[in-house]
Structure 1
Amino acid sequence: MSTVDHEPLAVRAAAPAELPALPSGVGLTWRALTPADVPAWFALHQVVDDHDKAIERLAESELTDRFKGGWRDPALDSVAGFDADGHVRAYAWTEFRPVTEGTHAPVLFGAVHPGYRRRGIGRALLAWSEGRARQRLATAEVELPARIRIYLDGHHAEARRLAEACGYAPKRYYVVMRRDLSVPLPAGDVPEGLRIEPYDKERDEDVRVTHNESFARDHWGSSPIDAEAWSLDVVGGEKFRPDWSFMAVEESTGRIAGYLMSGAYDQDWKPQGYTEGWTDLVAVRREWRGRGVAGALLTAAMRAYRAGDMQYAGLDVDTDNPTGALGTYTRLGYEQRQNSVLLTKEI
């Protein structure tokens, strides 16, 4: 169905006038999160991530960053349950960045302390955050397809049962992969006509445009990233490693043909038992695909990770990626490990 075939998004969103009430009688006081709550919010995540054996752990700085960005409204998009001692025991956060092409796709985050589960809190928070997502969608200025998203680790069966009971359906599957850096690295031959250069902050806007013209338009579920979101969520975070990031540049024109962005998520290293350089994003312009550009970028990153005393290179991939990324990574020596799932409601 094309965009023009849809009913107006304000109608499709079916936004509630009032958000669902949150549970009373569970020993919690409900209010929006503020920057001052970050330490208590982070403490909840540490307990939950350990209990649920989360594939990716959140850093405190990443929670702080949630309060940045003009598209975010934490006073309306978040809610948390505080116990009598001021500890955060549960929360929900609706993240929605309107786009001008692609798909409007708010994503729902949330967690409940293990000691407060099976009291209906998780179901109530999911209903609250979905209601808020629908309210945000109803205000979108550009008419586009829309979906509400929840990402879950593949082994988190309890959370998946809850999501499916609330009407969410599996839409996409992802695999976490790692590559042992102690064994010989691939040659990483650079295609003729290109050179691999370290990431250069002066070319950041060129990299963002390359992302939008390659990754965002050719990968399922992706939409263009504007300059503000790019500066905050891609290159502005504490974990971003520009020294582990690279650009493939056309020698004749200076145009960026592909790029790779890396991070050092050290909060994951102890729980997973090894250090790792993580590839956040890698993309190649359509006209350069099939020539080994991604392999050259990934090899450059692997060399940088190893020089930084990392034991593994890591990344995740959509198992249905149409560019054949899963095969590329496998040929470079990456091995599949954990998996995650995207569940959605199509709007």
Structure 2
Amino acid sequence: MSTVDHQPLAVRAAAPAELPALPSDVGLTWRPLTPADVPAWFALCRVVDDHDRATERVAEYELVDRFKGAWRDPALDSVAGFDADGALRAYAWVEYRPVTEGTHGPVLFGAVHPGHRRRGIGRALVAWSEGRARQRLAAAEVELPARIRFYLDGHHAEARRLAEACGFATKRWFVVMRRDLSVPLPSGELPAGLRIEPYDKGRDEDIRLTHNEAFARDHWGSSPIDSEAWALDVVGGEKFRPDWSFMAVESATGRIVGYLMSGAYDQDWEPQGYTEGWTDLVAVRREWRGQGVAGALLTAAMRVYAAGDMQYAGLDVDTDNPSGALGTYTRLGYEQLHRSVLLTKEI
């Protein structure tokens, strides 16, 4: 849909002048999160993740990194509720990175301690978060389509009911898949004219541009990643494994036509019951698709995961991915494990 079909985003966003008030009768004091709150924030996340059987567990470094990046404003984009003893019992965080192409898509994060649920706190935090997301959208400098997003584990019925009660609708399903590395691996043959090379930090900008060309512009809901966000969120994370990451390179030109980025998210291994090399991103430029490039990259990754004593290779995929990724993964031996859901409000 063209942006000319829309009213200006500042109008569509319908941003509130003041954010909805948070409850004053639940024994919590509300203020923005600060870096000093990370230990208490992490403690809350661990309790919530265990109680809700979260598919992916939050790592403390991820919360530290939330305070980095010029696009983030924690003083305005976060709020947390502390009880009389100073323990953090609930929070909300609006993650919004302005983009110049694709779709503006703030993501809402939040949690309420299991012992403080069913008091209206979750609903109030969703309303607060949505209001803040609308304020951020109204101030966007580039006119684009927009949606406010919630990502939830497919089994988390309570959170999904809350999101739906607040007007969010199911938009997309994603599948987490794993591949048993004790089973013989595929050959991973490449088409003529290409070679697989280990990730090279010196070519990081080329990989980012390949991502923006191959992934962000061809995959639903994606937008290009700028160099700051790439450096911080893709290759700057504590769990990023450059030694488990690869590039597909044209032999004649040296041009990168595909890439695979891996992580070792060991905070997930004990709860899920197995070790795993995780493929964060894999993509191939359009003109090289359908020729086995993605399979060769994934096979290279599976080999180093296995060499690192990982039991499984893991990844997730949009079930409606137009590139046929789900079929590719299935042919390589990946099996569907569980699902997550995206709920949105289209703006």
The aligned residue for residue 148 of structure 1 is 148
Give the CA deviation at 1:311: 0.3
Shift of 1:191: 1.5
Q: Distance in 2 between matches of 1:303 and 1:74?
A: 40
Superposition pairs of residues 39-118 of structure 1, within 5 angstroms: 39-118=39-118
**Residue identity opposite 2:135 in structure 1:** Q
Q: Quick one: distance in 2 between partners of 1:121 and 1:143?
A: 33
Match of 2:136 in 1: 136
Partner of 1:222: 222
Aligned to 1:196: 196
| Cα offsets for 1:259-293 (capped at 9, x unmatched) | 00000000000000000000000000000000000
Paired with 2:120 and 2:25, the residues of 1 have a C-alpha distance of 11
How much identity, in percent, do the aligned residues show?
87
Matches of 2:165 and 2:98, distance apart in 1: 28
Quick one: distance in 2 between partners of 1:2 and 1:286?
23
Partner of 1:345: 345
What is the CA distance between 1:5 and its match in structure 2? Answer: 1.3
5 Å-filtered alignment, 1:119-198, equals 119-198=119-198
Q: Matches of 2:318 and 2:5 in 1, distance apart? A: 28
Shift of 1:87: 1.2
Cα distance in 2 between the residues matched to 1:183 and 1:286: 30
Aligned mates of 2:58, 2:177 — CA distance in 1: 19
Deviations 1:102-142 (A, max 9, x none): 00000000000000000000000000000000000000000
- 1:233 matched to which residue of 2? 233
- Residue equivalent to 1:291: 291
| Aligned twin of 2:242 | 242
**Distance (whole Å) between structure 1 residues aligned to residue 133 and residue 20 of structure 2:** 12
Alignment partner of 1:80: what SS?
Answer: strand
Q: Distance in 1 between matches of 2:127 and 2:100?
A: 27
Question: What is the rounded CA distance, in whole Å, between the counterparts of 1:168 and 1:209 in structure 2?
Answer: 33
Amino acid at match of 1:155: H
Distance 2:173 2:191 in 1: 31
Q: Secondary structure at the match of 2:217?
A: helix
Give how far 1:27 is off: 1.0
Question: RMSD in angstroms over aligned alpha carbons?
Answer: 0.5
Partners in 2 of 1:86 and 1:36 — Cα distance?
13
Q: Who is 1:301 aligned against?
A: 301
Aligned position for 1:206:
206
* Equivalent-residue separation in structure 2 for 1:28 and 1:2 (angstroms): 45
Cα separation, 1, equivalents of 2:14 and 2:25: 29
In structure 2, what is the Cα distance between the partners aligned to 1:30 and 1:272?
34
The Cα shift of 1:86 comes to 1.5
> Which string of whole-angstrom CA distances, capped at 9 and with x for unpartnered residues, describes residues 299-347 of structure 1?
0000010011000000000000000000000000000001000000000
Are positions 1:336 and 2:332 aligned together? no
Aligned-pair distance for 1:25? 1.4
Residue 278 of structure 1: aligned partner: 278
The alpha-carbon deviation at position 245 of structure 1 amounts to 0.2
SS at match of 1:151: strand
The number of aligned residues is 347
C-alpha separation in 1, matches of 2:105 and 2:185: 38
Q: Does residue 311 of structure 1 match 2:305?
A: no
C-alpha separation between the residues in 1 aligned to 2:4 and 2:68? 34
Q: TM-score, normalised by structure 1?
A: 1.00
* Higher deviation after alignment, 79-88 or 37-46: 79-88
Q: Distance in 1 between matches of 2:52 and 2:251?
A: 48
Alpha-carbon distance between aligned partners in 1 of 2:140 and 2:25, rounded to the nearest angstrom: 36
For residues 99 and 27 of structure 1, what CA distance do their matches in structure 2 show? 39
1:181, 1:158 → 2: CA distance? 34
Name the SS for the 1:214 alignment partner. helix
**How far apart are the structure 1 equivalents of 2:196 and 2:276?**
22
* SS of residue matched to 1:163: helix
Give the superposition deviation at 1:190: 1.6
- How far apart are the structure 1 equivalents of 2:171 and 2:214? 22
CA deviation after TM superposition for structure 1 residue 84, in Å:
1.5
Stretches (4+) displaced over 2 A:
none
User: Could you tell me how far apart the structure 2 residues matched to 1:146 and 1:107 are?
Assistant: 11
Equivalent position amino acid for 1:27 in 2: G
Q: Distance in 2 between matches of 1:192 and 1:118?
A: 60
* Uncovered stretches (5+) of structure 2, i.e. residues with no partner: none
Q: Which runs of 5+ in 1 are unaligned?
A: none
CA distance in 1, matches of 2:282, 2:209: 13
